[in-house]
Chains A and B, each alone.
Chain A
Amino acid sequence: MKRIIALLLTVLMVFGLCACGQSAAPAPAEAPANNEPAPAAEPETPAAEEPQAYDYSGQKLVIWTCLTADAQYEVLNKQFTELGKEMGVEVEVERLSFNEMIQKLATAASSGDVPDIMHVNFGGTAQLYADEVLMPVDGIIDTIGANDFSEAYKRVLTGADGNIYGIPDWAMHTSVWYRKDLFEEKGLEIPKTWSEFKATAVALNDGADMAGFPVPLDGVQVAAQTLYELMCSKGIYFLDPKTGEYIFDQEKEEAIEVIDYLVDLYKSASPAASLTWSWGDYRNALAVSGTVAMTLDMGAVIGNAQGNNPEMTTKLGCFDFPGVDGNKVASFGSGYCFVGTKQDEPLREALITDFLIALYTPERAAERALSRPMFAFPSYLPAFEIYKQSEKVADFQTEIDTIFDAFENSTWYWYGMENGLSPMSAHIEATNIFGVALQGACDGTYTSEEAYDLINEDLAAFAATM
């Protein structure tokens, strides 16, 4: 009996070894005769799978956009419709109100009723990422051309797991837009430090009709953006760019100095009512009514001037907001990207992937950016040359180079996403605490320290829940 069992075990072992041998890596080639090191083995790659060809007919894509201008929406809608026809799919496009975007996205994610694709800003992307509804797009970016997108832009859209969750589309960068004619008239130079900047703003003040530099502090978003541009130039952030930890609470002294400077600018060169100014107010004041001489903006002032006061268009120029002592640490950058949501079916995922890839021809990317020139420039490099050659931006080559250089070659952050995608960004985008605190600092309700404490308490409480 023992012999039979031993024989059976031997047979099983032999079969087992054979089976293992079949699935193991092929035996290495014989060692070379000489002592040269063996060539590095090629990484084992599975047999390349033929991409499965799907039939998309009868499929429907739901796409959301959250834009601020009709021209942008029209171009996007046109491209989506074109692609839908090319691919034989029905496309339904919905336009979200920008002011309620974060709330709408959060509600949609909670109910599971998210779109297939979305064209969205960083705050919206952060919200969708936090709700874990986005699909990684690394593969799509590789197919389009990973080197055609700036590293900084890809980093800001990278999640904690190292995957990228948005395909960069437009880039936007905050600069100081100013009246070149007034600078020339008063013999002013581009300021290089904070003190020079304030002196320039004061010098541009001209009675009740011309303010040197408005400090817009509308409650939601605007106040946070104004503060963040100043913070970045001094190297103060909400999250640690290296670790993603909340660090605003460790930078109290420096942050108070930033708020002091903001209040100083408000009191010395800003219209009194700018406490409640939003984007439209300061853009119109610079580009349409001509009642302010400089303002922070992402370039939409050009669109305002072209549409409402064309004579002003040639009088406007831009420069980077300076650093405290001349060396600017970072700046405030922004952008819009395309995101796709997780799908259960491979066919749906393939459809979204193919649709997104098809959106990235140089012509299409340039057309999207040119739908509101200067406000947005293409982050897809092959489209950038087409963009630059367009008549729409022909008069602004210097400004484009300034913005492009700041975006591509300098350090920039989007608030709350200093270390990649983070729900903190969506919170900053939606809270009104920046408006309450900074308006209060400017109208004397709070000291700069109290304003800082209000902001810090709110953000720290949120950070604790992340």
Chain B
Amino acid sequence: MSSYSKRHRLIGILFAVPALIFLLTFVLYPVAYNIYLSFTNASLSARKAVRFVGLKNFTAMFSNKLFKQYFWNTCKWTFWSVLGQMLLGLGLAMLISQPMKGATAIRSFLLIPYVVPAVTLALVSKWILNSDYGIVSYWCQQAGWLDARQSFLAMKGPAMWVVVILNIWRSYPFPMLIYWAALKSIDRDLYEAATVDGSTKWQSFLYITLPQLRATTAVLIILRIVWTATYYDLIYMVTGGGPTGSTTTLPILIYQTSFGSGQLGAGAAISMVLGVLMLGCIVIYIRNNMKEE
């Protein structure tokens, strides 16, 4: 290797060092520390000595009656949220990709949910769904869909649907933007050729648009699953995980176990389970990327 190449390589490594330090400090160390904590009895209490407890946190977690419920809550929340975001995002992306008057204004308008802070959305939702003075609850009570002085947020079935709908509303702009960009990149000649061959709009969508969006959809699904399954603040602020734990997902359980009950070790074990599930998604994402390359 020439001295120029050596120097060039060294400079390259030097440029990578800050990023490497950042990754070691803020990614690798916390992950490694979390793995360590999950095998200990670590707690928030300063007086308790940290002891190695083997798999005790994991066996306690899997034998907990409520863990199974919270795990399925997480699956339900993630599945319906992602499905809703993807369908709404795709539909609106197709709408804004059509030539029309005021397209820029409509696109900007549709992006608003993405910039609404979760806390604002949570407070407004709780307000309009309040059993006594919420406008939505009032309408539903008048229509006979709700009992008097009842709220969807206080009912264990509907509460999950409320937070899923709120999440879909807040998160659809991201898939919409990605799909919009992907739609722009589809060769228009394909549609023209299909039209010449007598294809209907639905057939064009089914046999041209969807296959062309396949890679984008795969990436989007993986990313949205990871972001949604680990999303915490919206549910916590709207329902606090209730009623009867019906909206408690694993991230909320991690918070409650770690900082509510002060059991850092047990909380770390739950986050390990969630982490492994998310790791599976990331592996699929990487394999998908490698295939494309």
Contacts and interface: CB of A to CB of B under 8 A. Distances in A.
Given A106-B44, A133-B46, A454-B65, 20 more contacts: A102-B262, A106-B46, A110-B45, A110-B46, A130-B47, A132-B47, A218-B240, A272-B154, A273-B132, A275-B243, A276-B153, A276-B243, A289-B132, A427-B261, A430-B262, A431-B256, A432-B240, A435-B242, A445-B244, A462-B261
Contacts of B131: 271-273
A245 interface: no
A208 interface: yes
Interface string A190-223: 0000000000000000011001000000111000
A378 interface: no
B127 to A, nearest CB: 12
B86 to A, nearest CB: 31
Contacts of A83: none
A465 B45 CA distance: 11
Contact of A272 (B133, B150, B245): B150
A285 to B, nearest CB: 7
A112 B156 CA distance: 41
Contacts of B150: 271-273
Nearest to B66: A436
A31 to B, nearest CB: 54
Given A103-B259, A432-B256, A445 B156 contact: yes
Nearest to A108: B46
Chain A to chain B: the 10 pairs with minimum beta-carbon distance, closest first: A273-B131, A208-B148, A106-B44, A271-B149, A273-B154, A272-B150, A440-B244, A109-B46, A103-B259, A273-B151
A422 to B, nearest CB: 13
Contacts, number: 112
Contacts of A123: none
A432 B46 CA distance: 22
A107 interface: yes
Interface string B37-66: 000000111111000000000000000011
B148 to A, nearest CB: 4
Contacts of A100: 259
Interface residues of B, number: 34
A103 B48 CA distance: 16
Interface residues of A, number: 43
Interface in B82-128: none
Given A219-B241, A430-B261, A462-B261, A110 B44 contact: yes
Interface in B15-45: 43-45
Interface of A: 100, 102-103, 106-107, 109-110, 112, 130-133, 207-208, 211, 218-220, 271-276, 285, 289, 291, 423, 427, 430-432, 435-436, 439-440, 443, 445-446, 454, 458, 462, 465
B240 A219 contact: yes
A275 B260 contact: no
A48 B147 CA distance: 73
A272 B242 CA distance: 14
A276 B47 contact: no
B243 A272 contact: no
B78 to A, nearest CB: 21
Given A110-B46, A273-B151, A273-B154, A220 B240 contact: yes
A211 B149 contact: yes
A131 B45 contact: yes
B239 interface: yes
